[in-house]
């Protein structure tokens, strides 16, 4: 009997197999559908995730910041391409033979510490493709490394160079207050760099890496757009002359009476009076734009406390180290250094504002300009005794002589005739208390530092008449004064004349902007004739400002800082040339020169700077000389290698005829001033002429008081201008700061 074979599938087993097969088919079908669904619905999402992991395949492309040029096309600021050294640790680690040649080249050609690089590669060689080894190297520094890397069969791998731009300033400290500088992230700080930051900045580009359908890396580049450049009105030749003489002043008076700079601040503005263009602007101390945080520039400045108030000490080589260690304290002093004194700080302008007082009186019809006022040195107003600076008083003076000799009492009478309402109106017309809107960052607001019609009374009117009791900035005073002597036309001061594209095409021309007419041309001519006497007159307070070969006009200024009686002064001179048809204006302010308080109130600290600057600037500008040269002046010009600018023979005669006609046209004003030399001067106490001379200073000394007297003008260069007078503005009005300061 045969046995049945049991190696066949039973029906039950067959059924199980069929079920398993169907289950597997369904599983594959479900998986296929899921993959299809992922591709359909989330494929872009996962693609982006893959690409996002390729960090080294996407990078930012830098733009080139626009240049800053002077009026002649010379570069004040530019951007230079530099390179960051980047390590791709994965690439170096691909083969052992790459490591040592790469490290040797890094050390020999780039001076990089290879010990740290070796450790980094050992630790991150499988993952890191981007590590910055060095920043901002010039091409000359990396060129030899690149040459080695590009040699045939070179084993130097995994090093590439990322492009970037570095801001450079070829003049170092030249025009530092005007130009400003940039931070590490290419953002402008101070000056033109900050004001025109949006114009100078470009747009970053981008390079993208992505995988195509064949999984190959492809690149798309959006190029960077470079910034526009700006052409300024600054003439670096004039700017260099200005800065040279500010530096000479600082060197002469540094550590003179006390430790520290030659003055707390010295500022100079040179402006085209017919356009408002700034030809030069500088202040001292200054700093290197290529190294703005260098502590050497702080030495000589006042030490500041936490409230930015001066402590009475000065920064030297020892305490500067302590200042630099405290970050907050360090930047407090750096900000004081970086401020542009010409626009950021306010001060009481003093007698420089007297021509504005006279212009307001004449233009309003309150005076004719031919009046005569008597000065016995002290005038009591509102219970306060307010002094003139002339010892013994000035006697009878015309208004013109009041400007010439800078008589405070004379100006008090002019302001009294004008009245509070008209006086305040003209302060606004001259833009005092308002921004000039110059195109530089940080111009101070001074609205709270001037009086209004409700807060100005008789005493405030008197002190305001000679420039005390209110604050202004240098740019405010220069712009207002320019309108007084140019025919009455107030131009908005500006520093930039043109914006140009990276290709050199003109994007925008910035034309001079005439804002208003402050006074009539007739009033302007009268006041200008008075200001001419300040330099040409026998008793003019600004005679020492006259440059070799030229006659100029202008006005001296002396203002006593608060608290009154502290023997600290701000002295200044506002000048212009030529006298018959002014083209340029110069304003120099010396804030508390480093001398004894007994002789600090002397405008010569400013007039001598003006003379030195104009002796070089006027010939450079091609302005013809008008005065005979002394042998000493000829020698001075020869040493400076300055051409003697005498007008051609025909033009000289023509100018003489024009001057004769101008004299006839202003005969009334001339007669008023010339005829008053003796008659109007009656009553003047000139006993000061017989005072003893101090051999050390050269000043006369008033017996009994010890006050120093200028031997040429009889003006006191020490002492207080008032007796018991409270600081102007304490009666609910303005509150000028006790020292020059600005409201940012």
pLDDT on residue 509: 97
Assigned fold of 341-482+522-723: Beta-lactamase (3.40.710)
pLDDT tens string 531-587: 999 999 999 999 999 999 999 999 999 998 888 888 899 999 999 999 999 999 999
From-to residues of CATH 3.90.1310.10 in the chain: 59-232
pLDDT on residue 1: 47
pLDDT on residue 727: 38
Mean pLDDT rounded to a whole number for the chain: 87
Structure tokens that stand for 172 in this block: 């170092």
The pTM for the full model equals 0.85
Higher pLDDT, 413 or 45: 413
From-to residues of CATH 3.40.710.10 in the chain: 341-482+522-723
Higher pLDDT, 680 or 549: 549
pLDDT on residue 427: 97
pLDDT on residue 20: 82
What is the band of 511 on the pLDDT scale with cuts at 50, 70, 90? Answer: very high
pLDDT on residue 720: 57
The span from the CA of 699 to the CA of 544, in Å, is 15
Coil, strand or helix at 739:
coil
Q: Is the pLDDT of residue 688 over 70?
A: yes
DSSP alpha helix (H) spans, 648-710: 649-665, 667-674
Q: Which of 237, 250, 283 is nearest to 642 (CA)?
A: 237
pLDDT tens string 382-420: 889 998 888 888 999 999 999 999 999 999 999 999 999
pLDDT tens string 595-614: 998 899 999 999 999 999 99
What is the band of 729 on the pLDDT scale with cuts at 50, 70, 90? Answer: very low
pLDDT on residue 221: 86
pLDDT on residue 41: 64
pLDDT on residue 517: 98
Architecture of the structural domain at 59-232: Alpha-Beta Complex (3.90)
Return the percentage of the chain with pLDDT > 70, whole number: 86
- CB environment 272-295: b (16+ within 10 A), e (fewer): bbbbbbbbbbbbbbbbbbbebeeb
| Contact assessment for residue 560 and residue 720, using Cβ atoms and an 8 Å cutoff | yes
Mean pLDDT calculated for residue range 424-450: 96
pLDDT on residue 659: 42
Residue 592 neighbours by CB under 8 Å, 6+ apart: 263, 264, 265, 561, 568, 569, 570, 600
Mean pLDDT calculated for residue range 112-133: 90
pLDDT on residue 565: 80
Structure tokens that stand for 55 in this block: 């960090």
DSSP string over 292-326: TT-GGGGTTSEEE-TTS-EEEEE--TTHHHHHHHS
| Contact assessment for residue 332 and residue 432, using Cβ atoms and an 8 Å cutoff | no
Q: Is 71 left (phi over 0), alpha (psi -120 to 50) or beta?
A: alpha
Mean pLDDT calculated for residue range 280-292: 97
- CB environment 461-475: b (16+ within 10 A), e (fewer): bbbbbbbbbbbbbbb
What is the band of 672 on the pLDDT scale with cuts at 50, 70, 90? Answer: very low
pLDDT on residue 99: 92
């Amino acid at each position: 009997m045969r046995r049945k074979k049991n190696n066949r599938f039973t029906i039950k087993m067959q059924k199980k197999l069929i079920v398993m097969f169907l289950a597997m088919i369904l599983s594959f079908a479900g998986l296929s559908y899921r993959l299809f669904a992922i591709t359909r619905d989330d494929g872009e999402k996962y693609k982006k995730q893959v690409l996002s992991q390729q960090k080294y395949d996407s990078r930012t492309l830098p733009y080139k910041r626009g240049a800053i040029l002077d009026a002649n096309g010379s570069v004040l600021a530019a951007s230079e391409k530099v390179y960051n050294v980047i390590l791709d640790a994965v690439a170096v680690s691909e083969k052992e033979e790459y490591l040592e040649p790469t490290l040797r080249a890094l050390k020999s050609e780039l001076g990089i510490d290879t010990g740290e690089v070796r450790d980094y590669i050992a630790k991150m060689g499988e993952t890191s493709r981007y590590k910055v080894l060095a920043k901002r190297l010039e091409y000359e520094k990396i060129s030899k490394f690149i040459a080695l890397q590009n040699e045939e069969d070179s084993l130097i791998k995994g090093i590439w160079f990322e492009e970037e731009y570095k801001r450079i300033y070829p003049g170092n400290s030249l025009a530092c207050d005007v130009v400003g500088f940039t931070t590490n992230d290419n953002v402008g700080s101070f000056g033109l760099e900050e004001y025109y930051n949006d114009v100078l900045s470009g747009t970053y580009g981008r390079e993208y890496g992505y995988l195509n359908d064949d999984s190959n890396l492809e690149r798309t580049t959006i190029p960077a757009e470079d910034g526009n450049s700006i052409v300024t009105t600054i003439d670096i030749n004039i700017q260099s002359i200005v800065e040279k003489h500010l530096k000479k002043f600082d060197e002469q008076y540094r550590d003179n009476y006390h430790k520290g700079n030659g003055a707390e601040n010295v500022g100079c503005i040179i402006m085209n009076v017919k356009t408002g263009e700034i030809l030069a602007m500088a202040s001292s101390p200054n700093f290197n734009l290529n190294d703005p945080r260098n502590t050497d520039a702080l030495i000589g400045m006042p030490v500041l406390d936490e409230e930015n108030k001066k402590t009475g000490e000065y920064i030297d080589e020892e305490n500067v180290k302590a200042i630099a260690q405290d970050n907050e304290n360090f930047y407090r002093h750096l900000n004081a250094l970086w401020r542009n004194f010409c626009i950021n700080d306010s001060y009481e302008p003093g007698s420089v504002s007297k021509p504005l007082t006279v212009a307001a009186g004449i233009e309003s019809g309150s005076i004719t300009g031919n009046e005569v006022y008597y000065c016995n040195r002290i005038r009591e107003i509102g219970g306060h005794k307010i002094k003139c600076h002339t010892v013994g008083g000035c006697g009878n003076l015309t208004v013109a002589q009041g400007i010439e000799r800078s008589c405070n009492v004379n100006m008090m009478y002019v302001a009294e005739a004008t009245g509070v309402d008209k006086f305040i109106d003209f302060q606004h017309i001259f833009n005092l208390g308002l921004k000039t809107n110059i195109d530089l960052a940080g111009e101070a607001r001074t609205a709270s530092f001037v009086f209004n019609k409700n807060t100005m009374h008789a005493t405030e009117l008197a002190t305001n008449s000679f420039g005390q009791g209110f604050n202004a900035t240098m740019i405010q005073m220069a712009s207002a004064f320019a309108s007084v002597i140019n025919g009455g036309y107030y131009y908005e001061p500006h520093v930039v004349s043109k914006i140009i594209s990276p290709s050199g095409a003109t994007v925008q021309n910035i034309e001079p902007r005439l804002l208003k007419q402050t006074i009539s041309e007739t009033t302007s001519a009268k006041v200008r004739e008075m200001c001419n006497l300040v330099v040409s007159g026998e008793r003019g307070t600004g005679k020492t400002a006259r440059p070799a070969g030229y006659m100029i006009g202008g006005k001296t200024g002396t203002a006593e800082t608060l608290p009154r009686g502290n023997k600290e002064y701000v002295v200044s001179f506002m000048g212009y040339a030529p006298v018959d048809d002014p083209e340029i204006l110069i304003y120099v302010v010396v804030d508390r020169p480093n001398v004894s308080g007994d002789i600090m109130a002397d405008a010569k600290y400013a007039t001598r700077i003006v003379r030195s600057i104009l002796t070089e600037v006027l010939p450079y500008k091609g302005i013809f000389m008008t005065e005979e040269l002394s042998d000493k002046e000829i020698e001075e010009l020869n040493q400076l290698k300055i051409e003697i600018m005498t007008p051609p023979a025909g033009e000289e005669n023509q100018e003489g005829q024009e001057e004769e006609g101008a004299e006839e046209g202003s005969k009334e004003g001339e007669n008023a001033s010339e005829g008053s030399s003796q008659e109007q001067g009656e009553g003047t106490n000139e006993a000061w002429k017989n005072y003893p001379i101090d051999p050390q200073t050269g000043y006369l000394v008033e017996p009994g008081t010890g006050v120093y007297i200028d031997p040429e003008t009889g003006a006191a260069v020490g002492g207080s201008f008032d007796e018991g007078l409270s600081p102007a503005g304490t009666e609910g009005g303005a509150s000028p700061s006790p020292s020059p300061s600005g409201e940012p």
